[in-house]
Amino acid sequence: MSESIDLSLIQSNKCFGGTVYKYEHYSPSLKCRMRFNIFLPPNAPLDSTTKVPVLYFLSGLTCNEDNMITKAGAQRLLSEQGIALVTPDTSPRNTGIPGEDDIWSIGSGAGFYVDATTDKWKEHYQMYTYIVSELPELICSNFPINKEKSSVFGHSMGGHGAIMIALRNPGIVSAFAPICHPSECPVGTSAFEEYLGPNKSNWLDYDPTELASNYQSEHVNILIDQGSDDAFLKEGNLLPDHFVAAVENSKNYITLETHIQPGYDHSYWFVQTFINDHIDFHAKFLKS
């Protein structure tokens, strides 16, 4: 492990022959301490010279680095496939920003994976830079990870983040019940205005639907699962139909597979039911 990185081990737990490690580190881009979990499969212990593919999972509103890795049941199949998993936190914490803990959809646990530009948030809330640049560099420098074999998936706000990142940095992506059009849904517009200001033109680079509607770059493969009984869907906060329509404009560059799962809601009961499908989807590309 690199001695130049401020990286502290918090705990480790054996799991399906591999190990889940929790670390804390200082983030220069976020100007605060952050935590993440990393699962290393049995074929890639910490001291291994064998480098394995990695999946980054972005969690949703109110979540932290623990929700997915403790609730989704992903480690069994990841262990069999020989793929690592990284679960970062969803926002900076304890920054001293007034009101950062007051609203569930803005501030702590609600970074929306954007680089904030408003005066209140821009010093700490640089989550896009953290997820796309800083964290992968830290992971690949300190763990047996093949930096050329990585992809991203996520849930809800994290699904928005995963698709947005994959469209800006072309790759393989999947999502559970993503916030597909944050510029047009209540929970998204309030967050975007807070972090990026009232000018909607500044929101477009962080909106999956807006990015997809004009996408003409390297080919992107996307898998989306959506529960039919999802309260956020019924409230108009996900808008998957907007994304599907946008992809039609870029169908030569985007391959989209969507599944509506009857009777499923927005919870991790839904995520864990279909997690193996998503791991198989990524493994097909990561291990090719």
Q: Are 163 and 173 in contact (CB under 8 A)?
A: yes
Q: What is the DSSP string of 33-68?
A: EEEEEEEE-TT--TT-S--EEEEEEE--TT--TTHH
Catalytic residue among 230, 242, 250, 282: 230
Q: How far is CA 49 from the centre of its chain?
A: 27
Contact (CB, 8 A) for 166 and 222: yes
- 254-261 β-sheet, strand order: 7-15, 18-27, 32-40, 84-88, 52-58, 145-155, 172-176, 220-227, 254-261
In a 3-state reduction of DSSP, which class is residue 256?
strand
Backbone torsions φ then ψ of 51, nearest 5 degrees:
-105, 135
On whether the CB atoms of residues 160 and 180 are closer than 8 A, the answer is yes
**Catalytic residue from among 29, 79, 91, 156:** 156
Q: Given 124, 155, 160, 266, which residue is catalytic?
A: 266
* Residue 59 known to be catalytic: no
Mark whether 266 is an active-site residue: yes
Angle at the Cα of 41 from the Cα atoms of 40 and 45, rounded to 5 degrees: 60
Is 230 annotated in the active site?
Answer: yes
**3-state DSSP helix/strand/coil percent for the chain, to nearest 5?**
35, 25, 40
Q: Point out the residues that are catalytic.
A: 156, 230, 266
